[in-house]
């Protein structure tokens, strides 16, 4: 990989594994794994002599020339920077060179990435789409209800267990949910989502363990919990059926926007979503500044009358 450690050296594979082991998200591990394999493949194919800042800048230029989106280029560069840092920590790369690689800037995005939201009417149609006369339809309605009603990520829905759903302060709550960045949160659940969940678990005879499980023909449980990809497939199937094709993550945006439109407090929406920054929540809402009805118009203050 460098003048000290060639790509053929087994230590490179070990360093790649160290990079992947340091990531908490399975999706991140998968993405970084693909990115590093692609980079090392390019490195060998182009006969690069060493790994340094100039080499990574050449790779960046190649990615841009391929027409990749800025976010994709930045993810791939992030993986390479992480590899360089681990190589330096393990004595396989000069720390000065690794520091130079770390300074390779990402690609700026032109404008903000647009998200998709469903209107209340569209969300209702999606929720009503599954066939409740079928075993799978009951499950899929419960999946959609939890995603729309709680704003969970697809990975969180896949990991949901019976023990997660408990009563707190007289209402149902998804407690101690481990989300992105290993942040733990509790998410209130609306009564209609809990009702959909109950109908499914009673029909499936689920009293413990994963709530959402794979099914076989004839209305039988497979036994294994659904994967995040299977959750995404449920959203894609029914959203296409009702004529509003969206991704699973768009249901989180829909939850946030409908809650905000219904006068839900921004800080409480942030807590439900598990965002570390309120600015991330604002992006989910598609919030724009309203100069006609501004926050300062609701302070309730006034000047005392003057003579």
Domain residue ranges of the chain, discontinuous segments joined by +: 10-102, 120-285
Which two three-digit tokens encode residue 2? Answer: 């460098």
3-state secondary structure of 147: helix
**pLDDT for position 140:** 96
Rounded distance between C-alpha atoms, residue 98 and residue 48, angstroms: 16
Poorest-pLDDT segment among 75-89, 97-111, 146-160, 288-302: 288-302
% of the chain residues with pLDDT over 90: 48
Rounded distance between C-alpha atoms, residue 158 and residue 161, angstroms: 9
**pLDDT for position 6:** 52
Confidence of residue 3 (pLDDT cuts 50, 70, 90): very low
Give the start-end residues of each E strand in the chain: 165-168, 171-178, 184-188, 213-216, 220-225
Average pLDDT over every residue of 276-287: 80
pLDDT above 70 for 290: no
Topology of the domain comprising 120-285 = hpI Integrase; Chain A (1.10.443)
Q: Which long-range contacts (CB under 8 A, 24 or more apart) does 67-70 make?
A: 70/106, 70/107, 70/108, 70/109, 70/110
Per CATH, the number for 10-102 is: 1.10.150
Does residue 282 or residue 166 have the better pLDDT?
166
pLDDT digits (tens, 9 = 90+) for 92-110: 889 999 999 999 998 886 5
Q: Which long-range contacts (CB under 8 A, 24 or more apart) does 125-130 make?
A: 125/242, 125/244, 126/238, 126/239, 126/242, 126/244, 129/238, 129/241, 129/242, 130/238
pLDDT digits (tens, 9 = 90+) for 119-177: 999 999 999 999 999 999 999 999 999 999 999 999 999 999 999 999 999 999 999 99
pLDDT digits (tens, 9 = 90+) for 183-229: 889 999 999 999 999 999 999 999 999 999 998 776 678 777 899 99
Average pLDDT over every residue of 263-288: 84
pLDDT above 60 for 265: yes
Crossing angle for the helix pair 70-89 and 10-21, to the nearest 10 degrees: 110
**pLDDT for position 4:** 46
**pLDDT for position 287:** 65
**pLDDT for position 116:** 82
pLDDT above 80 for 301: no
CA nearest neighbour of 253 among 158, 134, 128, 113: 113
């Amino acid at each position: 990989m460098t003048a000290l450690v060639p790509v053929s050296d087994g230590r490179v594979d070990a360093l790649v594994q160290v990079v992947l082991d340091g990531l908490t998200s399975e999706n991140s591990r998968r993405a970084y794994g693909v990115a590093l394999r692609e980079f090392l493949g390019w490195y060998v194919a182009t006969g690069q002599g060493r790994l340094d800042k100039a080499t990574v800048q050449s790779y960046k230029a190649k990615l841009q020339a391929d027409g990749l989106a800025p976010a994709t280029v930045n993810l791939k560069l992030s993986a390479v920077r992480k590899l360089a840092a681990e190589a330096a920590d393990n004595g396989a790369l000069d720390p000065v060179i690794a520091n130079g690689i770390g300074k390779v800037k990402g690609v700026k995005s032109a404008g903000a990435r647009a998200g998709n939201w469903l209107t209340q009417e569209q969300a209702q149609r999606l929720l009503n789409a599954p066939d409740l006369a079928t075993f799978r339809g009951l499950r899929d309605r419960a999946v959609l209800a939890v995603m729309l009603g709680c704003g969970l990520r697809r990975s969180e829905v896949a990991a949901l267990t019976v023990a997660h759903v408990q009563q707190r302060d007289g209402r149902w709550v998804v407690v101690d949910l481990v989300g992105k960045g290993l942040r733990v949160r509790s998410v209130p659940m609306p009564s209609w989502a809990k009702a959909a969940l109950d109908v499914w678990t009673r029909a499936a005879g689920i009293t413990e363990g994963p709530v959402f499980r794979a099914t076989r023909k004839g209305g039988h449980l497979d036994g294994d919990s659904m994967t995040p990809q299977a959750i995404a497939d449920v959203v894609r199937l029914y959203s296409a059926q009702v004529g509003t094709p969206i991704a699973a993550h768009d249901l989180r945006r829909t939850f946030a926007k409908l809650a905000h439109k219904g006068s839900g407090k921004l800080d409480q929406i942030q807590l439900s979503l598990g965002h570390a920054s309120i600015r991330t929540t604002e992006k989910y809402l598609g919030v724009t500044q309203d100069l006609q009805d501004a926050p300062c118009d609701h302070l309730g203050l006034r000047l005392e009358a003057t003579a």
